[in-house]
A and B are shown apart, each in its own frame.
Chain A
Amino acid sequence: MQSIMASITQSIQQTAAALLAAGEVDLVLGYTRGERPHQSVPFVATTPAAAAQLHWDPFCEKALAPYLMEESYQNKRVAVVMKGCDARALRLMISESRVDREKLVVLGVQCQGMIPREKLEAAAGEPLHQLTLTWQSEGVELTGRKGSQTLSYEAVLSPFCLTCQHATPAVTEVDQIIAGSGEKALVKGKNIPPKEAFSDIETIEKMGAEERHAFWMQQLNRCIRCYSCRNACPVCTCRSCIFDRENPDYLDAAKNQPAQHQFYHVIRAFHVADRCVGCGECARVCPEGIPLHLLNQKLIQDLTQHYGAFTPGVDEVPNPLSCAGAHEVDPFGKEAKK
Chain B
Amino acid sequence: MRIGVFVCWCGSNIKNTVDVDAVTARAKTMPQVVYAQDVQYLCSEVGQSEIGQAIDTHRLDRVVVAACSPRMHETTFQKLMAAKGLNPYYVEIANIREHCSWVHTDKEKATVKAIDLVKKAVAKTAFAIPLTSDQLPVTKRALVIGGGIAGIQAALDIADAGYPVDLVEKESSIGGKMAQFDKTFPTLDCSACILTPKMVEAATHENIRLYTYAEVAAVSGYVGNFNVTIKQKATSVNPEKCNGCGDCVTKCPKKVPNEFDCGSSKRKAVYTLFPQAVPNKPVIDRDNCIYFATGKCGLCAKVCQTGAIEYQQQDEMIENQYGAIVVATGYELKVPDHLGEYAYGQHPDVITSLELERMLNASGPTSGKVIRPSNGKMPRRIVFIQCVGSRDRHDGNPYCSKVCCLYTAKHTLLLNEKFPGTESYVFYMDVRTAGKNYEEFYERARQQGAMYLRGQVSKVEPLGDADNRVLVRGFDGSLQRQVEIAADLVVLATSMEAQPNAKTLGGMLGISTDLNGFYTEAHAKLRPVETQAQGVYLAGVCHGPKDIPEAVSQASGAAVKAIILFNKGQVKSVPTTAMVEKDRCSGCMQCQPVCPYEAISQEMVVERVHGKERQRAVATVNRALCQGCGACAGLCRSGAMDLGGFTSRQLMAEVDSL
Q: Which residues of A pack against B, CB within 8 Å?
A: 71, 74-75, 96-98, 237-242, 245, 247-250, 271, 317-319, 321-324, 326
Contacts and interface: CB of A to CB of B under 8 A. Distances in A.
Contacts of B523: none
Interface stretch (B183-191, B439-447, B586-594): B586-594
B638 A75 contact: no
Contact of B637 (A97, A271, A324): A271
Given A97-B617, A250-B652, A322-B593, A240 B587 contact: no
B143 to A, nearest CB: 19
A323 B637 contact: no
B639 A250 contact: yes
Contacts of A326: 504, 507-508
A307 B648 CA distance: 29
Contacts of B158: none
A319 B592 CA distance: 11
B594 A96 contact: no
Given A71-B609, A240-B583, A322-B635, 15 more contacts: A71-B610, A75-B614, A96-B586, A97-B586, A97-B617, A239-B587, A240-B586, A241-B638, A245-B584, A245-B638, A248-B652, A319-B590, A321-B635, A324-B596, A326-B508
A239 B586 contact: yes
Interface string B616-658: 0100000000000001000101111000000011001100000
Contacts of B8: none
A273 to B, nearest CB: 11
A221 to B, nearest CB: 23
B602 interface: yes
Contacts of B653: 248
A319 B504 CA distance: 24
A239 B589 contact: no
A327 to B, nearest CB: 9
A331 to B, nearest CB: 14
A326 B218 CA distance: 11
B174 interface: no
Given A239-B585, A242-B637, A248 B649 contact: yes
Nearest to B637: A271
Contacts of B590: 96, 318-319, 322
Contact of B593 (A75, A240, A318): A318
Among the interface residues A97, A323, A324, which one has the most CB atoms of the partner chain B within 10 A? A97
Nearest to A326: B507
The 3 A-B pairs at the shortest CB distance, nearest first, are namely A96-B588, A248-B652, A318-B593
B296 interface: no
Contacts of A323: 593-594
B315 to A, nearest CB: 20
Contacts of B640: 239-240
Nearest to B612: A75
Contacts of A74: 609, 614
Interface string B563-592: 000000000000000000001111111100
Nearest to A318: B593
Contacts of A319: 590
Contacts of B635: 321-322
A96 B614 contact: no
**Chain B, interface size: which category?**
20 to 34
Given A97-B602, A248-B649, A250-B639, A239 B594 contact: no
A65 to B, nearest CB: 14
B652 A237 contact: no
Contact of A97 (B589, B593, B596, B638): B589
Given A75-B612, A324-B594, A326-B507, A238 B638 contact: yes
A248 B648 CA distance: 7
A322 B652 CA distance: 23
Contacts of A321: 635
Main secondary structure of the interface of A (DSSP, over half): loop
A271 B586 CA distance: 14
A249 B653 CA distance: 10
Given A247-B649, A248-B649, A322-B635, A238 B612 contact: no
Given A250-B639, A322-B635, A323-B594, A240 B584 contact: yes
Contacts of B614: 74-75
Contacts of B610: 71
A318 B631 CA distance: 15
A143 B593 CA distance: 55
Contacts of B507: 326
Nearest to A319: B590
A276 to B, nearest CB: 13
A240 B583 CA distance: 8
Contacts of B587: 96-98, 239
A240 B610 CA distance: 18
Contacts of B586: 96-98, 237-240
Contacts of B585: 239
A96 B589 contact: yes
Contacts of B638: 238-242, 245
Nearest to B604: A97
A217 to B, nearest CB: 22
Given A75-B612, A239-B584, A240-B584, A322 B637 contact: no
Among the interface residues A96, A239, A321, which one has the most CB atoms of the partner chain B within 10 A? A239
A249 B639 CA distance: 11
A55 to B, nearest CB: 32
A34 B637 CA distance: 35
A238 B637 contact: yes
Contacts of A98: 586-588
A22 B128 CA distance: 58
Among the interface residues B508, B610, B648, which one has the most CB atoms of the partner chain A within 10 A? B648
B397 to A, nearest CB: 15
A19 B150 CA distance: 73
Nearest to A247: B649
A319 B609 CA distance: 32
19 contacts: A96-B586, A96-B589, A97-B587, A97-B589, A97-B602, A98-B586, A237-B588, A239-B584, A239-B586, A239-B587, A239-B638, A239-B640, A240-B583, A241-B638, A319-B590, A321-B635, A322-B593, A322-B594, A324-B631
Interface in B75-107: none
Contacts of A318: 590, 593-594
A271 B635 CA distance: 9
A97 B589 CA distance: 8
A248 B650 CA distance: 9
Contacts of B617: 97
A182 B585 CA distance: 47
Among the interface residues B504, B507, B586, B602, which one has the most CB atoms of the partner chain A within 10 A? B586
A317 B589 CA distance: 11
A19 to B, nearest CB: 24
B599 to A, nearest CB: 15
Contacts of A322: 590, 593-594, 635
Nearest to B588: A96
A324 B588 CA distance: 18
Contacts of B649: 247-248
A195 B583 CA distance: 41
Contacts of A250: 639, 652
A317 B586 CA distance: 17
A156 B648 CA distance: 46
Nearest to B602: A97
Contacts of B602: 97
A74 B614 CA distance: 9
Nearest to A268: B637
B629 to A, nearest CB: 11
B647 to A, nearest CB: 9
A247 B631 CA distance: 21
Contacts of A247: 649
Among the interface residues B507, B594, B617, B639, which one has the most CB atoms of the partner chain A within 10 A? B639
A245 B637 CA distance: 12
B62 to A, nearest CB: 18
A321 B652 CA distance: 23
Nearest to A271: B637
